[in-house]
Amino acid sequence: METFELDNGLRVVCATRPGSALAVVNVLYNVGSRDENRQLTGIAHLFEHLMFGGSANVAEFDAELEAAGGNSNAWTSTDFTNFYEVLPACNLSTAFHLESDRMLALDFSESSLDVQRSVVVEEFKQTCLNRPYGDLMHHLRAMCYDARHPYSWPTIGLEPEHILNTRLDDIRHWFYSHYAPNNAVLSVTSPFPAEKIAGMAQLWFGDIPRREIASRQLPQPGFPTADVRKEVRAAVPQARIVMALPMDGYGSKAYYAADTITDILSYGKSSRCYRNLVHGPSQGLFASADASIIGSEEPGLLLMTATLGAEATDENIALAESMMRKEFERLASPGDISTEELQRTLNNFEATFRFEGMDKEEAGFRRAMAVMHGENPEACVAAKFAQTPAEIAEAAASMASGPMATLVYRPR
């Protein structure tokens, strides 16, 4: 892995894979829904779609890429927007041409905006309005964050009307305030040496001007100061319970401790949720149980999620909530986490990390994110393996002593 930076601020990271017939190109932009305001949510995700709607010198992004034997995709999170292409290495210049052109300028046409608005609104309806538990993150984020904080709404936005109300002036402002070489990382995995990639990066991206990036003004998260609970009656097949605990943002020791806690709770059939909840003393109460972190750059949430297998009575829901809370609180007891359990959990984490890293797209993204963070792609492995059972228990105790938000879905 080699890194360098162009004069316009574009950071480039490349990995040479001799003999590979394919090349992977990632462009990671430091912009996500945390850069939105509450009056116009979902624009970061809408923009992900608009980036495929034509640029200054390319009428149809996908058509040109597919003609070169490639394919592409993208995703948007609260914190970043990532675009990537996989194509024959001999046609790598096509990906450079396409990505550089849409970094230079978009089409900014009413027709493109109309099409992508419709696509995103339909996606909102499918994933949030017409799917069981689809609006879960709308409820949960609103419970856990101050309304002024952009984490208080999901990346897809608060409501479809915000997308429908987006105008070309909003799009132009968003583009020139966030999409720029000095706000991006270009990651290239190919059979070519770093010197060739450096020359191609300079050729295709070097003359794109720097831009003034909008400053990020984030309020405090505004986490609850006491436990909060909300019940939602919806068209869902089974009751679902989600418990959320505030946690640190990316990079801190507490962040990695929270990540390890969720692995102990839910990674595989030896996990505590599987053994003690799904197949525990009240077998049949839980159909499934899981734990995860949102994994955000700013202070985020650790989630415990369970779907009931039993009838959604008050007694069953109360019992399930009690068992979930106790399962988490157990982790805070000194000596409860053995060295063997932690080692097994960390070994599982590393095995998954290595296996997923064999995927070229994932590996390219990891390198881009590492450059964005100013760290080595292996940093998370080192940070996780440096933990001790006592440190994990201390982190669990700290979270368990704070407020918890509980969201319960009940079938109508």
| Alpha carbons 208 and 10: distance in angstroms, whole number | 9
First to last CA, the chain: 54
In a domain, 214, yes or no: no
How large is the greatest C-alpha to C-alpha distance in the chain, in angstroms?
Answer: 67
Q: CATH code at 331?
A: 3.30.830.10
Q: What is the dihedral of CA 312, 317, 320, 326, to 10 degrees?
A: 170
In a domain, 284, yes or no: yes
Instruction: Specify whether 181 is located in the same domain as 250.
Output: no
Instruction: Specify whether 151 is located in the same domain as 61.
Output: yes
Instruction: Specify whether 61 is located in the same domain as 154.
Output: yes
- pLDDT for the residue numbered 344: 94
Per the structure, the complete domain to which residue 145 belongs is given by: 2-205
Q: What string of DSSP letters covers 20-61? A: -SEEEEEEEES--GGG--TTSTTHHHHHHHHTTS-BSS-S-H
In a domain, 289, yes or no: yes
| Alpha carbons 205 and 199: distance in angstroms, whole number | 10
Instruction: Specify whether 78 is located in the same domain as 123.
Output: yes
Dihedral of CA 14/15/21/27: which sign? negative
Instruction: Specify whether 235 is located in the same domain as 200.
Output: no
Instruction: Specify whether 283 is located in the same domain as 185.
Output: no
Q: How many domains does the chain have?
A: 2
In a domain, 217, yes or no: no
- pLDDT for the residue numbered 113: 93
In a domain, 213, yes or no: no
- pLDDT for the residue numbered 189: 96
Q: What string of DSSP letters covers 369-391? A: HHHHHTS-TTHHHHHHHT--HHH
Query: In terms of Cα–Cα distance, which of 265, 290, 221 is closest to 78?
Result: 221
Instruction: Specify whether 169 is located in the same domain as 80.
Output: yes
Instruction: Specify whether 252 is located in the same domain as 110.
Output: no
In a domain, 258, yes or no: yes
In a domain, 219, yes or no: no
| Residue-level pLDDT, tens digit, the chain, 412 residues | 899 999 999 999 999 999 899 999 999 999 999 999 999 999 999 999 999 988 989 989 999 999 999 999 999 999 999 999 999 999 999 999 999 999 999 988 899 999 999 999 999 999 999 999 999 999 999 999 999 999 999 999 999 999 999 999 999 999 999 999 999 999 999 999 999 999 999 999 999 999 999 999 899 999 999 999 999 999 999 999 999 999 999 999 999 999 999 999 999 888 999 999 999 888 899 999 999 999 999 999 999 999 999 999 999 999 999 999 999 999 999 999 999 999 999 999 999 999 998 888 899 999 999 999 999 999 999 999 999 999 999 999 999 999 999 999 999 8
pTM (two decimals): 0.94
- pLDDT for the residue numbered 361: 86
| Alpha carbons 357 and 359: distance in angstroms, whole number | 5
- pLDDT for the residue numbered 307: 97
Instruction: Specify whether 47 is located in the same domain as 117.
Output: yes
Instruction: Specify whether 318 is located in the same domain as 196.
Output: no
| Alpha carbons 297 and 27: distance in angstroms, whole number | 18
Phi, psi of 167 (to 5 degrees): -115, 165
Strand locations in 181-314, DSSP E? 184-190, 228-234, 240-247, 286-293, 300-308
Checking DSSP bridges between strand 22-29 and strand 11-16, what pairing results, if any? unpaired
Instruction: Specify whether 183 is located in the same domain as 260.
Output: no
In a domain, 221, yes or no: no
Instruction: Specify whether 49 is located in the same domain as 184.
Output: yes
